[in-house]
A and B are shown apart, each in its own frame.
Chain A
Amino acid sequence: DAMVIQNPRYQVTQFGKPVTLSCSQTLNHNVMYWYQQKSSQAPKLLFHYYDKDFNNEADTPDNFQSRRPNTSFCFLDIRSPGLGDAAMYLCATSRASGRVGELFFGEGSRLTVL
């Protein structure tokens, strides 16, 4: 089945130790999104790619970076995780077209910072 796959599902890191979360998709969608979701809160958009074009949200901290080496893969790098970065990180895709489509989500990567 075509889907969005995130790895790892659970990541434990130490304060300040860099972390990379990955997302792959077999849907061939143009747009890939990274959301941060803290406990009992709405998903918050960090950034998105439209093909190779990177779009950063104005309030996304510099500590968060992203890479999209090809259509299928997208990575979220957290350079120096703080305790406040503990959250579920959700990757989603959508097809860019003239009509609004739905978001297809992965199952998320839950980050714990010790």
Chain B
Amino acid sequence: AQSVTQLGSHVSVSEGALVLLRCNYSSSVPPYLFWYVQYPNQGLQLLLKYTSAATLVKGINGFEAEFKKSETSFHLTKPSAHMSDAAEYFCAVSDLSAGTYKYIFGTGTRLKVLA
């Protein structure tokens, strides 16, 4: 079974600093990987996805992630944090089962941005 592991349940950065949120995956086949963001009391919104095309994936709000097969990683970065980036971030992998894709989520990383 495929899975993702997010290191660090809480990350704090200063406004303007680099954001780095870590995700490692476990998969026996080439994975499809996703990053979602969740603001308080809202559903999840897709930031970006990797589907075996370019290894560097650009998403919304200035985020990007790099797929590294040798490290089984898909870390999320943003060069300069903004106060509005404070939210919970989930890494996810998709797994084909019974003809449909099921999405397995990591435990999430809560990002705090300090003024």
Which residue of A55, A103, A106 contacts B103 across the interface (Cβ within 8 Å)?
A: A103
Majority secondary structure, B binding face: strand
* Contact present for A108 and B42 (CB under 8 Å): yes
The size class of the interface chain A forms with chain B is: 20 to 34
Report B73-115 CB contacts with A as 1/0, cut-off 8 Å.
0000000000000000010001001111111011110100000
How near does chain A come to B114, taking the closest CB pair, in angstroms? 20
Report A76-108 CB contacts with B as 1/0, cut-off 8 Å.
000000000000101010101001111101111
A-B CB contacts (within 8 Å), total count: 64
- Say yes or no: is B34 at the interface (Cβ < 8 Å to chain A): yes
Chain B residues within 8 Å of chain A by Cβ, number? 26
* Contact present for B43 and A105 (CB under 8 Å): yes
Closest to B99 in A: A50
How near does chain A come to B89, taking the closest CB pair, in angstroms? 11
CA distance A96 to B10 in the complex (A): 34
Contact A43/B34 with A31-B100, A100-B51, A105-B43 known, Cβ cut-off 8 Å = no
CA distance A102 to B44 in the complex (A): 11
4 further interface pairs, Cβ-Cβ under 8 Å (given A4-B43, A6-B43, A92-B44): A41-B107, A42-B105, A92-B43, A102-B49
